[in-house]
Copies of this chain bind each other. A is one copy, B any other.
Amino acid sequence: MRLDRSIREAAERIDTARSRARRSLLRAAIEVFGEAGFESATTREIAKRSAQNSAAIAYYFGGKAQLYEAVIEHVVTMINERIGMLLQSAERFLEKETWPREQALSFLQQMLEASVANSKDPEIVGITHIIVREQTNPSSAFDLLYKGVLGRLQRTGTRLMAVYVTGDPDHADFRLRFHALLGQALAFRHARATILRSAGWKDIDARQEAAIRDVVLDQTLLILDGLRARHKATGR
C-alpha cells in the first residue's frame, strides 16, 4: 500500500504539473486568439506569454487547431459558471404551469445585464472577443459554442419574452424579436469601435457601462410593454 500511495502521489504531481502547464497555455491562448483571431494568432506568441516552449502546444494539445478547440470548450465552461445558474432558474421557471410575468421580466433583464457587462479581466476580455469573432465569422468550433451556450440563451430568452408578452412560452414566433432585442445590448460589443468614436469615449468603464445598461433595459421595457399592450388589445 505504500507503493500504491507513492504511485498515486507521483501521478498527482504529474497531473498538477500537466494541468498547470495546460491551464497556463489556455490562459495565454484566450488572450492571443482574442486579440488576433485564430489565423493571425501565432503559437510562438502563445508559448511566449505562458512562459512555455513552443513545442509544449503540440505536446499538450496536439497542435494549434486543437488548442483553439480546447479554448472554445473552456469558454463554454467559464460562461456556464457565470450564467448557468440564471439559465437553469429560468428554464425551471418555464417548465411550470403558470408563469408570473414579473418573474419572466426579471430573468430577461438579468440576461441583458449579463450581455452588456464588461470586465477588465484579460481572460473575460479575450472570451468576449472570441465569441464576437465566432458569431461574425464562425469556425468549425462554432458548433461547440452554439450548443454549449448561445443556443440555450437564445431559446430561453425567446420563451421568456413570449411569456411576458402573451402569458404563454410557446406562443407564436418570438425568435426574431428576441434576437433584435438582444441586438441592442450586443451592439455595444460588436460595434465597439463605432460607439467609442461617436460617444467620444476612450474606453468603456464602469460609468459608461451603467449608462449603456440603463438605455438597453429602458428600451427593452418599451418594446416588451408595447407588445404586451397590443397583445391585450388585439390578441395578436
State the majority secondary structure of interface residues on A: helix
CA A186 to CA B179, docked complex, whole Å: 10
User: Copy number in this complex?
Assistant: 2
Interface size on A, residues (CB 8 A): 50
Identify which of B137, B176, B193 contacts A134 (C-beta below 8 A): B193
- Say yes or no: A190 contacts B191, CB within 8 Å: yes
Q: Tell which of A177, A183, A199, A227 has the most Cβ of chain B within 10 Å.
A: A183
- Say yes or no: A198 contacts B154, CB within 8 Å: yes
- Say yes or no: B188 contacts A183, CB within 8 Å: yes
Contact (A195, B215) CB under 8 Å given A40-B39, A40-B40, A184-B184: no
A179 / chain B contacts, CB cutoff of 8 Å: 187-188, 191, 194-195, 198
CA A189 to CA B176, docked complex, whole Å: 13
- Say yes or no: B215 contacts A198, CB within 8 Å: no
- Say yes or no: A37 contacts B190, CB within 8 Å: no
Nearest CB in chain B: distance from A159 CB, A: 12
Q: Tell which of A181, A191, A192 has the most Cβ of chain B within 10 Å.
A: A191
Q: Which residue of B lies closest to A178 (CB)?
A: B198
- Say yes or no: B136 contacts A191, CB within 8 Å: yes
B-facing mask of A143-174, CB < 8 A → 1, else 0? 00010001100110010000000000000000
Q: Tell which of A136, A177, A193 has the most Cβ of chain B within 10 Å.
A: A136
Say yes or no for A21: interface residue by CB 8 A criterion.
no
Nearest CB in chain B: distance from A138 CB, A: 4
